[in-house]
Amino acid sequence: MKKDPRKGKRGASVLLLSIVLMFVLLLLSATIYNLIPIELHTANRSHQDLNGHYVARAGIQETMSWLRHQMVKFEGVQNEQDLPDYTTNGTSFPNIEAFESAINARRPFTQGNWRYEIDIVPQQNTMGFTNNFESRLYAVSSTALLNDRPIRRIEVLLRQKTFASFAFYTEAFDQNSQMLLTGESKIFGPVHTNDWFRFNATAVASAGWNTEPYFTDVVTHAKKDPAAPAYGDGNTWLGGAPYNTNGPVAGRYESVFEGGRNDLRQKNAIDLPSSTDTVIATTWPDAASRPTDFGAFVSKDPNTGKVNGGVVINGNAQEMNLRLDRYGNQHTVIKQGHNYGTNSKTVKAYKYVSYNPKKYTNCNGSCKTYGPPPTGSGGGGGVGGGNAASNAPCLEYNIVQCEVTQQVENGTTTQTSTDADQITTEIFEITEPVNYTNAQKTSLGLVNPDGTFIDNSQLTVGKTLIVRKVTVQADDTTYDANGNKTYYGTEVAKPASGSVTKVVQVESLDGQINGNIYANGRIGGTEDQRTGNSELGVNSIGLWGIAKGSAKTDPNTGDFVLDNQGNKTYNNKAIITPLNQGNSIALGGDMLQFDPAKFNAVKAGNANYDFSGINNSTRARNWTQAALDPNRMVNGKSDPERSPTAEHSLGLISLDIWMKGPTNHSSGNQISKNHNTGKELTGGDGTSDCYFVALAGKTELDANGNPRMVNGDTVSSGGFGTWRTHRDNLNDMLGKFRVIGGVIQGTVGRNYNDSANDTHHWVDNSGSVGYDLDMFYDIEATRQRIFPVQSDFAIIRFIEMTARL
Amino acid sequence: MFVPSFARKKAPRRGFSLVEVLTAMFVIVVGLSGVTATLWWGTRQTDNGKVITEASNIARICMETLIIQGRFKQSVNVNDAANVRNPVSAPPLAAADFTTVGTTVAGDDRNIASMTDRFTRNISMQPLSNNTTDYDYPLCRATVRIYWKDKENRERSVTHETITPWRDPPAGAGGSGGTP
């Protein structure tokens, strides 16, 4: 029988079909096998990336800690080799390289084989600083590696924090001082103290906690009042508190802080700088030619003669007036009293002796009858009124016999007199074309020592003109045999009577100053001059005027540095007195800020406008036509114009900064005189308008150069406030100030080791001593070119990316 | 004899033999078993992936909360005892730290606290240096480890580690310092 050939084929086909089916199923399984774990892989990878983020972030954190550590080391001993970007050739940075080498070898983590690699690149425009007054900038890259394979990378730009970023900072908040909350918005910007605050909320509580917030930004304090209740916020509240035993009371914090309770926070202490010594190198780069003579000098290259720095003032300055000339150029006038010399002469001496026989006259003895005590004196008084009698007027005295004496000659004595000459240095920064007539030159004293007029070729755009003048008195005693005194090689002849002012030196230099004014002495007198007493024959006025930046020039060519639109660029001015010399700056009037937009608008309308003039109808200087308006009102509220850029803002750095505000004082003292003579530029509005960011204070150091510590806290000195002997006079009122910028100060109490009553009270415990201050934060002004920086760094740019290859 | 064509072509139908059917069934069962196992395994892996993602997220919340709230800096002992598994929201953290903020829409349960129940945690903080002159004196190594049990009751974990400030640097002019 023949076999059916299909039989075998059919069986094989079934098996084949089964195998095909199995293959399909296996294929399906393989697909599922591959597809389903993707989520697991994704989850693992996501977790790895996140851990990589934390590892890379750790590298950034460690770098920031190291940078801070190096800056603190530098601040202590001012050794530039401690700076993180210390370099000798501009290309290699031994400190950075050593740190990178050490940190990249570390394995600081316990889980897995994670580590990070750091790369720190100093930015070219901040490289090689040898001072602590310019913010350093570093680009830092941190790569997280797992088993040496890169996983995640973070790149940041770090910038050193600056003290200029505060609207108000006080290192110490003296316990005899209070911050008076007025129920109005007064401080517009970040506020910090290393202490805790003492808020006086009487006015806010009286208004039912329904007032405008006094602070419009974050307020931070480093310490807590040990006596503050646990349910409070750690600060001292007088006159009412925004909390009760249950915690914050709804709406109360909002009456003081715009952001409510969340705007009052505790944070780390931030200590003030201790020295300004290193900033001199940016003001006068050539140490060998740095002047030691009395006077004001402009730094110039010893070889080229071009301006290569700023202004150094040796000796005290009674007045510094930042003016605008008639063409809109900054014209700085610095007046200094100078001891030319001393002379001795012999004169008759006298003494008082009794008559023979003695003579007597009736005179008042002790008080016999007292009148009523003055209102509010605390009571007491009347006849025999005990202790309180000292406050009551005496109506009748006991009559006693007093001896009358006579004056008789008593040989001779030697008297020593000092010649107090005045040196005036005037600096013209010529950025706008000038065309002075001879009459105008005569008025300004723009003449050479030989009496000829300064040629307009010495006043061309791009030059800096320095004119030095000396004023001598006829009754001076130290003229030479020919009746002359010699200043800067020029003889000044004794006048027949009165005084004479003579130009003794003129310099016309190529280039512009860099904006630094470094004063080895006070600007404005001490409190002793407040009452009108003269210092070396010159009334002390202090700083006032309108600040205009100094145009940037190329140090090699002297050409202006222009922006993309072809406009000149400017360095803002910074006035510095050495912190460790205990000097001060006194403000004698308004301190306005130049506004280039207004200047250009005025010039466009009147090319011959005289910015140096005075508007007699308003008593306002014409400078105000080119200044930011501090009196601007917006929606019925004071809202001064703010800086459009930092170019014309002003920085003040001194141990103490004293304010001589307009007051109602009736005795005609220096304070009120200043403001009656046109130094209140905006026309006598009763307020000192101050465009600046001021740092007044320092960290005290011990003998080893370390921060001086008392009870675990650093000790600070210096501050910002009203004239110290003036502040206690209740009749003077308090002085009203409007600061557009910021105030950074050491203490609201007294300076370290100062036995005088030298406090910087905001408002004292009586609530009546201090000053009335409005503070308007000016964000552009915080970008000060030269201003003390903190040792801490902040991240200003953050980029994160995968680093997987 | 006439035989209709369909009758002539119709071959007698034969079924598959038992061997053929058994072989085919075996092949199919083996194939389906593989697919089923793969599906079962895949489902478990998917669940593991979700849990790892969730655990990593919770570890991140713990780490960020401790940093943002300054818990490392407030002299608060954040260390859990070694080898101890604490609830995720145990102090110094709190249940509120795992509750979303903002307006809750009806039916939108964004409270993730309930999702933390299956996890435990161990936090540790180790200073990098106790020498005040070292730059890393203010820094600590912070470790957050999140644990859970998988379906086989095996303990699994994820870990995040970083370096963060926890105390003030020594006092020094120009920088943060002093005693808070």
- pLDDT digit string, tens, across residues A751-794: 887 765 556 766 666 666 666 678 899 999 999 988 999 888 99
Contact yes or no for A345/A359 (Cβ under 8 A):
no
Six token digits for residue A437: 């007539």
Cis upstream peptide for B91 (omega within 30°): no
Q: What is the pLDDT of residue B168?
A: 78
Those of residues 71-100 in B touching chain A at CB distance below 8 A are none
- The residue among A2 and A655 whose pLDDT is bigger is A655
C-alpha span between A361 and A401 (Å, rounded):
6
Asked whether residue B176 carries a pLDDT value surpassing 50, the answer given is: no
| B128 interfaces chain A, CB cutoff of 8 Å | yes
Per-residue b/e over B7-21, b at no fewer than 16 CB within 10 Å? eeeeeeeeeeeeebe
Q: Which two tokens stand for residue A625?
A: 């036509």
Per-residue pLDDT at B50 exceeds 90: no
Q: In terms of Cα–Cα distance, which of A455, A450, A536, A454 is closest to A489? A: A450
Considering chain A, what is the average pLDDT of its residues? 83
Four-CA torsion A764, A766, A769, A775, nearest 10 degrees: 60
Residue A526 has pLDDT above 90, yes or no: no
Smallest Cβ distance to A707: which of B49, B158, B172?
A: B172
| Length of chain A (residues) | 805
- Predicted local confidence at residue A384, as pLDDT: 28
Token pair for residue B100? 């979303």
Phi, psi at A713, each rounded to 5°: -110, 145
B104 vs chain A: nearest CA distance in angstroms?
Answer: 22
pLDDT band per the 50, 70, 90 thresholds, residue A433: very high
Residue A328 corresponds to which amino acid?
G
Nearest CB among B27, B49, B180 relative to A21 is that of: B27
User: Which two three-digit tokens encode residue A584?
Assistant: 């001060």
Give yes or no for a contact between A697 and A718, defined as CB atoms under 8 angstroms apart: yes
pLDDT for the residue A107: 86
- B49 to A55: CB separation less than 8 angstroms, yes or no: no
Fill in the DSSP letter of residue A553: B
Owner of token pair 């801070």: A68
The mean per-residue pLDDT over the stretch A182-197 comes to: 90
Q: Which residues of B touch A24 (CB under 8 A)?
A: 31
pLDDT band of A360, cuts 50, 70, 90: confident
Taking the CA of residue A657 as centre, how many other CA atoms within 13 Å lie in the half-sphere pointing to its CB?
25
Torsion of CA A671, A673, A674, A678, to 10 degrees: 150
- What ranges in A183-306 are assigned the alpha helix state H? 202-206, 280-283
Q: Which residues of chain B are within 8 Å of residue A46 when distances are taken between CB atoms?
A: 53, 56
pLDDT band at residue A237 using 50, 70 and 90 as cut-offs: very high
- ipTM of the complex as predicted: 0.80
Q: Write down the mean pLDDT value for chain B.
A: 79
Q: Which one has a higher pLDDT value, B52 or A35?
A: B52
Residue type, A196: W
Q: Which residues touch B164 (CB under 8 Å, ≥6 apart)? A: A58, A61, B67, B72, B139, B140, B142
Two structure tokens written together for A56: 């890379």
For A366, the token pair is 């002790």
Interface residue A28 vs chain B (CB under 8 A) = yes
What band does A561 get if pLDDT is binned at 50, 70 and 90?
Answer: very high
| Facing residue for B31 by CB, picked from A7, A21, A273 | A21
Give Cβ neighbours of residue B105 (< 8 Å, ≥ 6 apart).
none
The predicted pLDDT at position A10 comes to: 52
Helix axes A38-77, A94-104, angle to 10 degrees: 140
Cα atoms found within 13 Å of the Cα of residue A216, Cβ hemisphere only: 12
> What's the DSSP call for residue A539?
-
What is the tens place of the pLDDT at every residue in A734-748? Answer: 467 789 999 999 988
pLDDT over 70 (residue A123):
yes
| Residue A6: pLDDT over 90 | no
